[in-house]
Homo-oligomer: A and B are copies of this chain.
Amino acid sequence: METLNKTSAPASGLPLAFHGTVIHARSPNDLEILENCFVLVDKDGKIQALQADVEASQINGIVSNQGYAPDVFPVKHLCRGQFLCPGFVDTHNHAPQWAQRGVGRGQTLLDWLNQVTFAHEAKFAAPDYARRMYASCVAGFLQQGITTAAYYGSHHGEATRILADICLDKGQRALVGKCNMNRNAPVWYRDASVSDSLRETRELIRHVRNIDPQTRLLTPILTPRFAISCDSDLLAGLGAIATEHPDLPIQTHFDEAEQEIQFTKQLFPEFHTEVDLYQRFGLLNHRSILAHCIFLQEDEMRRIQELHCGVAHCPIANTTMREFMVAPVREYLRRGIKVGLGTDSGGGYSSSMLEVMKQAFVVSNAQQMLTQGRDAPLSLQEGFFLATLGGAQVCGLDEKIGNFAIGKEFDALEIHTMDLEHAGVMTPVEDEDSLAVIFEKFLMTGDDRNIAKVYVRGRSVKV
């Protein structure tokens, strides 16, 4: 079981230990900055100890209390300007659009799908192409510090199984879904029938459970692209699979654009709203990841709250294509609805969650204006929460990841900010900067070059 060994972490079989600054979110408004923190990650990749204000001389004592002989493993000391933070969780990502990010700006959503995207995704019919492209894609997102991604694959079964293989091999935590789509797409890029679509979906579930039987990294996810591309039989079939597998997450595009909502209403005149529609097919519950959620009516908002659905907020895609669309994130947070951030690569041009977070600030400023001040902008700590623990909640993984609570798995970034002489494009760190300012400089101006190491379950995965 070579593959499984690879997912055991860390590779050495020894614990990992760090001493230095640790920054994580405990809730939207509770950012914790721990100085001189000692972190111990056991050989299974779980956080065994987390203790702030530890002097170097105390470390051996803590190690011994945790049941290890002193000096059997190294402790990595982080310098000033370096810190650990949780890895980013990307709640909405179209893996096969990796090589089309940024292309086709200025088109409406449905035109962009038909004219740019479907032709591009169709290329994943070729397994070799899928293998090359997904290897680049997963490596690229890991380079950006995305330790967990909720991926839409293409509609192809084989390519999507390859995507799962590559995530496991490269050590990225992932929700991997085969796009279900049997209509309103070109005949050369859609599922041939309902039964084909469902069979490939079941095959993906089997494959993922086979290569990662303990769900260490991988979760299959049901992925009806959106109701426009799925007929009633297909949605009903997916609802049946969701009932059959009560641990399976579900993702779809939801109230994303006015054009999309109108077309959906034409196709399903019997439903008043998209909540009505997806709920009737058994696809709305605490496992649902609803991408975009721009145009929800009051009744829909109330019901996704009651059903404990999560929202994947994708501010780059929502504002850089032909339209400027504002998801009411403050309202979702006020109602206690789970919210995370998504690159929406490639509707979103960027592969960086730092860029997504900054665009979430922009959208929240716009919403403040549009609501005449009712909805306050997102704070820096709220943005960081959404990119980490908020996303973990949306993906149903907050018991496992999202921050550094003891017992969670160590999905982490080692951030190296720089002084004046080495800062490059990041804002240089100055002598008098507090840890809060250093953190702010990284979030607002850092990039993947400041992400020196990426860990998933304690395994170092950034090439």
Contacts and interface: CB of A to CB of B under 8 A. Distances in A.
Interface in A366-405: 366, 368-369, 377, 379-380
A101 interface: yes
A279 interface: no
A102 B440 contact: yes
B324 A425 contact: no
Interface string A393-425: 000000000000000000000000000110111
Nearest to A132: B420
A347 to B, nearest CB: 12
Contacts of A323: 365, 368-369
Contacts of A322: 365, 377
A444 interface: yes
A140 interface: yes
A236 interface: no
A344 interface: no
A349 B368 CA distance: 20
A133 B420 contact: yes
A133 B441 CA distance: 16
Interface string A357-369: 0110110011011
A99 B428 contact: yes
B377 A106 contact: yes
A447 B350 CA distance: 11
A305 interface: no
A103 interface: yes
A368 B358 CA distance: 21
Interface in A335-368: 346, 349-352, 358-359, 361-362, 365-366, 368
Contact of A362 (B133, B320, B437): B320
A109 B440 CA distance: 18
Contact of A324 (B136, B368, B423): B368
A147 to B, nearest CB: 16
A366 B365 contact: no
Interface in A415-463: 420-421, 423-425, 427-428, 430, 437, 440-441, 443-445, 447-448
Nearest to A420: B136
Contacts of A82: none
Given A99-B430, A320-B361, A358-B320, A424 B140 contact: yes
A448 B425 contact: yes
Interface residues of A, number: 52
Copies in the complex: 2
A423 to B, nearest CB: 7
A169 to B, nearest CB: 17
A178 B428 CA distance: 23
A100 interface: yes
A219 to B, nearest CB: 26
A313 to B, nearest CB: 15
A10 to B, nearest CB: 26
A358 B428 CA distance: 24
Contacts of A448: 424-425
A36 interface: no
Contact of A319 (B106, B365, B423, B430): B365
A144 interface: yes
A103 B441 contact: yes
Contacts of A424: 140, 143, 448
A103 B426 CA distance: 12
A141 to B, nearest CB: 9
> Top 7 A-B pairs ranked by shortest CB distance?
A102-B444, A324-B365, A324-B366, A101-B427, A349-B444, A102-B445, A319-B362
Interface of A: 98-103, 105-106, 132-133, 136, 140, 143-144, 319-324, 346, 349-352, 358-359, 361-362, 365-366, 368-369, 377, 379-380, 420-421, 423-425, 427-428, 430, 437, 440-441, 443-445, 447-448
28 contacts: A98-B428, A99-B430, A101-B441, A101-B444, A103-B440, A103-B444, A105-B440, A106-B379, A132-B420, A136-B420, A136-B421, A140-B425, A143-B425, A319-B362, A319-B365, A323-B369, A324-B365, A324-B366, A324-B368, A324-B369, A349-B444, A351-B445, A352-B425, A362-B362, A366-B366, A425-B447, A425-B448, A447-B447
